[in-house]
Amino acid sequence: MNTGGRLIAGSHNRNEFVLINADESARIRSVQELRGQTCEICKDEVELTVDGEPFVACNECAFPVCRPCYEYERREGNQACPQCKTRYKRLKGSPRVENDEEEDDIDDIDNEFDYMNNGGIGFDQVSEGMSVSRRHSGFPQSDLDSAPPGSQIPLLTYGDEDIEISSDRHALIVPPSLSGHSHKGHPASLSDPTIAAHPRPMVPQKDLAVYGYGSVAWKDRMEEWKRKQNEKLQVVKHEGDPDFEDGDDIPMMDEGRQPLSRKIPIKSSKINPYRMLIVLRLVILSLFFHYRILHPVKDAYALWLTSVICEIWFAVSWVLDQFPKWYPIERETYLDRLSLRYEKEGKPSELSPVDVFVSTVDPLKEPPLITANTVLSILAVDYPVDRVACYVSDDGAAMLTFEALSETAEFARKWVPFCKKYCIEPRAPEWYFCHKMDYLKNKVHPAFVRERRAMKRDYEEFKVKINALVATAQKVPEEGWTMQDGTPWPGNSTRDHPGMIQVFLGSDGVRDVENNELPRLVYVSREKRPGFDHHKKAGAMNSLIRVSGVLSNAPYLLNVDCDHYINNSKALREAMCFMMDPQSGKKICYVQFPQRFDGIDRHDRYSNRNVVFFDINMKGLDGLQGPIYVGTGCVFRRQALYGFDAPKKKKAPRKTCNCWPKWCFLCCGSRKNRKAKTAAADKKKKNREASKQIHALENIEEGRVTTTKELSTEAMQLKLEKKFGQSPVFVASARMENGGMARNASPACLLKEAIQVISCGYEDKTEWGKEIGWIYGSVTEDILTGFKMHSHGWRSVYCTPKLAAFKGSAPINLSDRLHQVLRWALGSVEIFLSRHCPIWYGYGGGLKWLERLSYINSVVYPWTSLPLIVYCSLPAICLLTGKFIVPEISNYASILFMALFASIAVTGVLEMQWGKVGIDDWWRNEQFWVIGGVSAHLFALFQGLLKVLAGVDTNFTVTSKAADDGEFSDLYLFKWTSLLIPPTTLLIINVIGIVVGISDAISNGYDSWGPLFGRLFFALWVVIHLYPFLKGLLGKQDRMPTIIVVWSILLASILTLLWVRVNPFVAKGGPILEICGLDCL
């Protein structure tokens, strides 16, 4: 067998045959697929070569093709493999064709014979070629050489007659002993000359297996195959390449060959200097700490030691944050190829179904109109309607949400066909109608303006209905809410109510105004009872997984928050370019999209856009094992959420040491280990067989006859029920890797089963929240869930389309922003103190070490608040006491400090360059890192310690105090919260320290200004980083709230007392009196 210089690996026990290419991508083929398989062109059996190996025409993909079809394809076809489109190489014994490469081991003169000119195969030449082949392989030549040279003998059957054809119409039957068919080649190409050939007409309608290669049916099928191959060859316009002139067309191979996406590595001119600078910065840090440790400040030893400890912690945090960005990449998708592959004209779409999850809790805090816009954007997405199902989780069991969703379903019957008819973007009506844009761009339909005005009027009426529902819901009746038919609303008690499911769209008879089918829309509110832990959002998402598994069971899931609408209608297609890729899609657990936001001021004062994280850190993680899950805008593989391991790539066999002497201790050791492992495996196998036999005897003694297959099926069913719960319908759906529904299942039965899987006790004694679904144990369930999937060997993908896939809203005022950061940091502290901490969990799995560093950084960063708040206090202490954390600076120390600051600045510049981030966004991120670190992270740390260690759940409430009208009015909305105390205190003491330091320098003269500059620089660094916080306190038009004035006066009084105690204007040891020489008496 010609392996093309590749490594061949096989496993008899696993029945595998592996061809490993030079690019280390393995293509695994079963031995049964290669031995005794049939040709995919003529359906004949693929013969064996003279060496007893299966004939392999293509060394790239091993596509099963017999030798005659291989010869025909090289002579009259495309000369390429039908599957991978790799050009066929000339094999030994094959005729030469045009453009064949010169190969010393194949190009021998004896085999370079020509085909006949009339298009048919010359059997004289074939016989001669086969004779040459047999002479090379050592077969006897007597019978072959005696064949008449002029006889044209058709290829024969396998020694069996077809009883449906009369004997006078059969092809010549050659006994197997003469045909050489059994093990050595193709069905006999040559016959014994002593056996007469019976000329007969052939029946084209019969199967090719009856007549063989020379039949008319074979030619017809070959022509049909060639026609289909030509249809697959598309000619597309080449765009964007300056090497091609306008009008040049290039052939594009069929969609089976084209990748659906590709990686775009960062240019070496950008990434190589960046990596070199990281290494250089490590060297500078080493020299810096060497100097700092060997040069203590004896008169301020405590300050020096504290500062060194803080600096070491900052260096470790920098390493954890920096090295996961070592391999940043970008990605590009090809939506046209996705359509060519899975949406063929005249055939149903083959795109995979997707279930979309939307979660909401309190409609008074999460306005129903925002949720309705998110649902409408999902229903109008550019995807086959029969393959989209939207599930809305109402975890507050609010009748307001239910009624709003009912109105949304009715409005969707008008909105969805309008969006698809005119291809509008975005497809959330609130944002489509309010955006200031040229809505007539690329619109050519004359009725568009009229229909748009009518649709806008319908949407305004829809908004009025939703607002009326919200106004009604402000006051709850004493007897509770009642539905339109007089039935009490089941969710009147939000903590004690049954599970509720309502299918609004997708059922029979519910169509849009143009009588087209609509995607499925399902309302879900899981059961809640006192005494059960419902696990907040994670529990609600797990309920949606089970409900969707029963009702639709799509293989892929998309989860979005209620305020994150689909901004790009092709977002699902973007994700499918990765998930449905036949080469790499099987190992992808989720596709994460970046979060983009509307309604944020241009300056983004509090870094709400978080651009540095989404455009720098996430791209760096994408080059490793994939980005972390951020809680929304993520498309999952259902099987990955079910806790299954990622498909493992078969490893190549290790290099053997047969070339070394037997006395080589390495080889001996390896042989002994292999023998010991083999013996242990055989022993275990025998024990298992013995236990099976004993179990079978016990069954016979008890009068039960149970097969091994039945026992294994029952055991598997019990195992799955223990893992997934006691719903047989859901367990059956969980075993379907590609999704799908059980046959002959009535809707009533499915809804009954769906109610069961959202009951509050369904997860008891199962692995839900532990190994399956969204993982419990933290308020930031997103990080924990993604970490578990990566630990199972899965990888994720970061998709950044040009048009943002999703957009949402973010809290833009200071208090709400800090409260959001507090929640994230609290979740990280909970993970750090749990068994799932990435520092000690998940070893031995599939998690890469750089990916682990990123997860460690994601749970360790709240602890940085302790050294950060201490370090930010040091400048004020130094200015008030007249001491400093660094001794008198030498030239060497000055160079070290300047080199360190320069490396920090240049690293940021290079990150902004390859991450395409503006300097404003980068600087806002640096500022808010300090603001959040000394406020929200600090409180989250103490709150997490109290919650995990002492069981005390402490909440920091946020109350609204004042508001302004106008654009970005929320930016100036001040809400008092205790989170504001630490940064306010730091800001005040550093400002006072600066005043004290300057006053002291003025009073002591010129010589005191030199040492002051280091302290002033240190204090100004803190004040500049806290400047956005100061602007947030002042509010609009420089108005300061009363509470801040009170705290400022209190702290200023304390610092004034400290000032009097320090008294820097009086020299130490009392005043010095000099005699002036004047008699004042």
Q: Give CA–CA dist 852/838, Å, rounded.
A: 7
Residues comprising the chain, all counted:
1081
Tokens representing residue 676 in the block: 């010991």
CA distance 405 to 395: 14
State how far the Cα of 822 lies from the Cα of 868, in Å rounded to an integer: 16
Q: Which two tokens stand for residue 666?
A: 């390495």
In angstroms, the Cα distances linking 55 to 2, 19, 71, 177, 396 are 9, 15, 12, 21, 65
Q: How far apart are CA 815 and CA 799, in angstroms?
A: 32
Query: Phi and psi (nearest 5°) for 959?
Result: -120, 140
Q: Burial, 1028: exposed, middle or buried (Cβ in 10 Å; 0-12, 13-18, 19+)?
A: buried
* Range 468-492 burial, b when 16+ CB lie within 10 A, else e: ebbeebeeeeeeebeeeeeeebbbb
Pull the structure tokens for residue 228. Answer: 């289909």
Instruction: Show the beta-strand stretches assigned E in 48-116.
Output: none
Closest to 378 measured CA to CA, from 431, 427, 430: 427
Alpha-carbon distance of 64 to 79, in angstroms, equals: 15
Secondary structure (3-state) at 907:
helix
Find all residues with CB under 8 Å of 1013, minimum gap 6, and list them.
none
- Could you tell me which of 410, 380, 369, 383 has the C-alpha nearest to residue 563? 369
Query: Please, how many CA atoms are within 13 Å of residue 468, restricted to the half-sphere of its CB?
Result: 8
Q: Distance (Å, rounded) from C-alpha 395 to C-alpha 359?
A: 8
C-beta neighbour count of 255 within 10 angstroms: 18
**Strands, DSSP E only, in 334-490?**
354-360, 388-394
Q: Which residues pair with 795 in a beta bridge?
A: 588
Q: Which helix (H) or strand (E) holds 524?
A: strand 520-525
Look up tokens 């996961």; give the residue. 324
Alpha-carbon distance of 2 to 91, in angstroms, equals: 8
- For residue 457, which of 409, 514, 415 has the smallest C-alpha distance? 415
Known catalytic residue at 51: no
Residue with tokens 């004047």: 1078
C-alpha dist (Å) from residue 268 to 59, 328, 330, 907, 913 = 34, 11, 13, 16, 12
Which contacts of 469-474 are long-range, i.e. CB under 8 A and separated by 24 or more positions?
469/368, 469/400, 469/403, 469/404, 469/407, 470/363, 470/364, 470/367, 470/368, 470/369, 470/400, 473/363, 473/364, 473/398, 473/399, 473/400, 474/364
Give me the catalytic one of 563, 782, 816, 921: 782
Q: Which of 44, 254, 355, 395 is catalytic?
A: 395
Q: What is the distance, to the nearest Å, from the Cα of residue 675 to the centroid of all Cα atoms in its chain?
A: 42
Q: Which two tokens stand for residue 1014?
A: 């280091």
Please tell me whether residue 74 adopts helix, strand or coil conformation: helix
Asked whether 986 and 1051 are in contact (CB, 8 A), the reply is: no
Report H helices in 591-664. Answer: 611-612, 618-622, 638-641
Q: Is 597 helix (H, G, I), strand (E, B) or coil?
A: strand
Closest listed residue to residue 996, CA positions, set 879, 883, 885: 879
Angle at 757 between CA 753 and CA 763, to 5 degrees: 150
Active site residue 23: no
Query: Could you tell me the strand order of the sheet in which 16-20 lies?
Result: 7-11, 16-20, 26-30
What CA–CA distance (Å, rounded) separates 635 from 627?
A: 13
Catalytic site residues? 395, 782
